[in-house]
Amino acid sequence: MNRSIVHDTPNPLIVHARTIPACTEHLDYFFGLYRGLLSGYFRQTLGWDDTFRRAAFRLSYPIDRCIAIVVESDDPCGVLVTQPHGDKAIEIALLLIDPAFQCKGIGMQVLQQVCDVASDSRLDVRLQTFRLNERASRFYRRHGFEIVDEDENYLFFCKRYIKTSA
């Protein structure tokens, strides 16, 4: 998954993003993004205790599974974590973009990269987001994801691999 993200049509409003392997120096930044972007949703649903969430973050998103999203330098502006979801799907376990870099096409580029890799492998892409996170829900729907399940706190999305005739 470590490759540049390229588009056919240049758009001056879209910032070119690429992914690189994350390193331990990125972990505090990633947790800061997680806290800044998601703690409000946690507080309204499951609760937020910083010590507990930091430990849970390290267990759920070990640094060797984190992919740093970067622009220009190798300083991260976001984080991506993917994992297998059975043998028929890739799960986006975490996709966070720093607010200073949002609305610049970076999330779209990274999401498309994951979808391209999944499609090449004939896999669906799955993810979940807080029900309260309407902005994320709109983003994923706009990019072809459908809600396939829900519970009290989460919406579960899937973008199905479409088989093409050869």
- Taking the C-alpha atoms of residue 39 and residue 63, their distance in angstroms, rounded to an integer, is 20
- Taking the C-alpha atoms of residue 151 and residue 130, their distance in angstroms, rounded to an integer, is 10
**Entry pTM:** 0.88
Could you say which DSSP state residue 99 is in? G
CATH number of 18-159: 3.40.630.30
Beta bridge partners of 146: 158
User: Per-residue pLDDT tens for 49-91?
Assistant: 999 999 999 999 999 999 999 998 889 999 999 999 999 999 9
**One-letter amino acid for residue 57 of the chain:** F
User: Per-residue pLDDT tens for 111-163?
Assistant: 999 999 999 999 999 999 999 999 999 999 999 999 999 999 999 999 998 76
Nearest to 94 by CA among 108, 78, 112: 78
